[in-house]
Amino acid sequence: MTVDRMTPPSGVGQPVRPVRATWRDYLALTKPKVISLLLWTTLTAMFMAARGWPGLWLLIVVSLAGYASAGSAGVFNMIIDRDIDLKMKRTAGRPTSSGLISTRDAAIFGSALQVLSFVMLWVWATPLSAWMSLAGFLTYVVVYTLWLKRHTWHNIVLGGAAGCFPPLVGWAAVTGDLNLFAWFLFAIIFFWTPVHFWALALMIKEEYRQVGVPMLPVVHGDRLTVAQIGLYAIYTVVLSLMPVFLQEVGWLYFLSALILGGLLLQRSWKLYRHVMAGHQVERRVAVPLYLYSMLYLALLFVAGAVDRVLIG
Ligand code: HEM
Ligand SMILES: CC(C)=CCC/C(C)=C/CC/C(C)=C/COP(=O)(O)OP(=O)(O)O
């Protein structure tokens, strides 16, 4: 554990007190809030795959291993981005940027989590779930963070594939296999991610500009961003309805997807109109879409699970 950040002297003549990283700092490296939704899509996918109770032991194993894998991805993201994270207000306090946790210690922690996750899934779930989890980790760390994030505004669309793996992990943990419906879950998150992220990016674009990260609103401005958000919201809603026609889900899911999707389109449209009318992006129109995007995904996946467990 490192002791390389010092607290300010507590009084004249008193020694500087070294600050030790605690378990809370290590926890912060794993991006727990983001993981909560990633795990939600994993666990609900398990219910969808099982069309019933997937088993307590499997739920516990996949929750712990899923957290460890996504957490490990967050750790490596914070190691790689520690230079730019330090320059943005939102991320400056991250333990890898402030120096509270050294790169070496963070790398050991992140590697241990990833190995632990892979072994747990392989032994107690299924090998395919372990591979899917590793694929999500590599897409986030290598494709998104190392390769695309600092190079192209397509970073979110392509790199966003990382966040689509959790339902595949859950599905493969239950069935040992992946079917077309599981890939639909992947695709729904794939098209949802730009809506989620660009709504937020509109509000924090100046920070990204400062550090030279080419997010869409920085490179092409607010108008193209809201147009793209609208397009991706339409793709998401259309895709979310398709499993109904494949008869993978029934009326309960259909109604839910329709209502939830309608609200996603309505909020995207409101943001689109606001920006196209020549107004500056205001928090009061962008925040509701950003927050709703997360509720949308969480409820859509619950609807899928409830439909397949209780009705399907
Ligand atoms: C390339 C893909 C993605 C990018 C670039 C992205 C980016 C972000 C950023 C920058 C934040 C703000 C976090 C903060 O304030 O520290 C955020 C919040 C969040 N994201 Fe994403 N996200 C992506 C995909 C996902 C996915 C796939 C999920 C889950 C399925 C997700 C769930 C969340 C949640 C739950 C929050 C709220 C966290 C909080 O309140 O602190 N994100 N996202
Ligand atoms: C199955 C598996 C292991 C999946 C992992 C997927 C994963 C961790 C997705 C997280 C998406 C996310 C938080 C992106 C933000 O990165 P950013 O670097 O743009 O945001 P930041 O500026 O807050 O660091």
What does the pLDDT look like over 173-196, one tens digit per residue?
A: 999 999 999 999 999 999 999 999
In this structure, which residue's CA is closest to atom 8 in ligand 2? 70
pLDDT digits (tens, 9 = 90+) for 238-293: 999 999 999 999 999 999 999 999 999 999 999 999 999 988 888 888 999 999 99
Name which residue leads in pLDDT, 218 or 280.
218
Average pLDDT of span 136-147: 98
Q: How many helices (H) and strands (E) does the chain have?
A: 14, 2
Q: What is the pLDDT of residue 311?
A: 87
Among 175, 306, 202, 198, residue whose Cα is nearest residue 253: 306
Choose the residue to mutate in 84, 90, 196 for probing ligand 1, maximizing ligand atoms within 8 Å of C-beta. Answer: 196
- The helix (H) or strand (E) run that includes residue 6 is strand 5-6
State the pLDDT at residue 14. Answer: 46
Residue nearest to atom 15 of ligand 1 (CA): 90
Question: For a pocket test of ligand 1, which of 29, 30, 34 has the largest count of ligand atoms closer than 8 A to its C-beta?
Answer: 34
Ligand 2 proximity of 137 Cβ (cutoff 6 Å): yes
User: Phi and psi dihedrals of 5, rounded to 5?
Assistant: -110, 135
Cα(251) to centroid of ligand 2, in Å? 33
pLDDT at 281: 86
Q: What does pTM read for this prediction? A: 0.94
User: Each residue of 150-176: b (16+ CB within 10 Å) or e?
Assistant: eeebebbbebbbbbbbbbbbbbbbbbe
Residue-wise pLDDT for 36-87, tens only, equals 999 999 999 999 999 999 999 999 999 999 999 999 999 999 999 999 999 9
Is the CB of 173 inside a 6 Å radius of any atom of ligand 2?
Answer: no
